[in-house]
Structure 1
Amino acid sequence: MILGHYATALLPYSRYKRFPFWVLLVAANVPEFLWLALAMAGVEATSPSSLLDATFQSLKVQMTYSHNLIPAILQGLVFGGLIFAVFRNKGFALWCGFLVVLHVLCDLLVGFEHQILYPNSPVISLNSYLYFPHLAILFEFLFSLACIFYYFHTEKKSGNPVSKRKAILLISVFSIGILMWLPSATIPLKDLIQLITS
């Protein structure tokens, strides 16, 4: 998933509004930030190296430390512990730790190949970006909408209904942000740009 991870930060938000929302956004994307850092360091390098040449189907990456299941659980424990040390709230810390792990659990359905621990350990993901990338992107879109509508429901239940303007904005951002990747599932970005500009 790409933007869908950000949508998961909305799940606990109604309950923990006294804490900064950006913390939940970071928690939901810890494995992604770790992957980017490791990719820049050459540890989890991608192929092809240029985003312009890549498609969801052609991108090859081994995300051993950032996205495999046991490393993700360890990341969740560490991040949750840090959040508890800073904010001294067990529930908020547990949610932050869970969002880290949820990132990888979501990627098992919508994402690349992931294993339990090391590269040769059992594969536990669908590798949907390789086998059915368009369907994977559509599933991410529906999952994001489910998170958004759950947020609307919890806000209404707590007596703070989301305004129509904010609801339209949220739905629009996630709809455009996710569905715009549909062509890139199988067509390199440089070909799409050339198609548009020609």
Structure 2
Amino acid sequence: MLAGHFTTALVAKQEAPKGHIAYYLVAAQLPDLLWLPFHYLGLEVTHPHNIMATSLDNLQVDMTYSHDLLPLLGWIALVIGVGRALFGGWRPGLIGGLLLVVHAATDYLGGFPHNLFGPETASVGTGLYHSSPYLAVALEGVFIVATLAWVPRNDAKAGIQRSRSTYLTWAAVFGGNMAFLLFSADLSMAEMFGLTPSPAMDGTTVPMMAATYLSMLAALVWAEGKPTKARAERESSSSVPAAQGA
């Protein structure tokens, strides 16, 4: 799962608003963010190296340290501790830890193959990206729609109206993600357009994934920071006494 994990951070921010949205987004996507530097450390080397030759069903990597079950328990404990330290309460940290649990559950249901701790240990995932990539994409689509439906529902209860630019950003991030996954499910860019992978593009798979994750994260932080109607009204009313007393 790609951007689907990010949707859970939007719900977390509503349930524990004391935590910063950037913390929840990183917590929700932490295993994937760890995967990228682990590739360069030689711990989770990813193939193919050329982004033009890469599709969901041919991407090969043993995500032992970022996604396997036993290391994941350690990452969950770390996220809880960081949340407790940053925000002075257990709720943001526990919600952050829960985001990692949801990340693991959705990945194990419909993502790359994962194990207990290493490829020689018991499998704890279906590996649908390799065996049934279109089914995996469909499951992510359902998950995104279901999770995002929760946010407007809670907004309505709280009397919150978000800006148009926020919804447009969400549509670009999550809609663009689904389009990308659909078109790259079992066809690489080279196969799709009848091209030969350019040697100049060697070593581009992981950098392109890093740029994608970070740009999505930055866009969602920006969108969540846009003033809502309820927030604007609170800020306006709080500034009136100060202006009158000047």
Letter matched to residue 91 of structure 2:
G
> What percent identity do the matched residue pairs reach?
29
1:181 aligns with 2:181: yes
Count of equivalent residues: 195
Structure richer in helix, relative to its length = 2
Q: Residue in 1 aligned with 2:70?
A: 70
Question: CA, structure 1 residues 172+142, in 2 after alignment: closer, same or farther (shift >3 Å)?
Answer: farther
Cα displacement string for residues 57-108 of structure 1 (whole angstroms, at most 9, x for unaligned residues): 1111100110011211210111210121121111111011111232121111
Cα displacement string for residues 130-160 of structure 1 (whole angstroms, at most 9, x for unaligned residues): 1110121121111011111111111212222
Q: Residue in 2 aligned with 1:114?
A: 114
**Contact 2:134–2:182 (CA under 8 A) maintained in structure 1:** yes
Tell me which structure has the larger Cα radius of gyration. Answer: 2
**Contact 1:141–1:175 (CA under 8 A) maintained in structure 2:** no
Gaps (5+ residues) in structure 2? 196-246
Gaps (5+ residues) in structure 1? none
Superposition deviation, residue 118 in structure 1: 2.6
Q: What TM-score results when the alignment is normalised by the length of structure 2?
A: 0.73
Letter matched to residue 121 of structure 1:
T
Q: Segments of 4+ in structure 1 off by > 3 A?
A: 161-169, 191-195
Show the 5 A alignment for 1:28-177. Answer: 28-162=28-162, 166-167=166-167, 169-177=169-177
**Contact 1:145–1:171 (CA under 8 A) maintained in structure 2:** no
Letter matched to residue 120 of structure 1:
E
Letter matched to residue 93 of structure 1:
G
Pairwise CA RMSD:
1.8
Question: CA, structure 1 residues 172+34, in 2 after alignment: closer, same or farther (shift >3 Å)?
Answer: closer
**Contact 2:62–2:118 (CA under 8 A) maintained in structure 1:** no
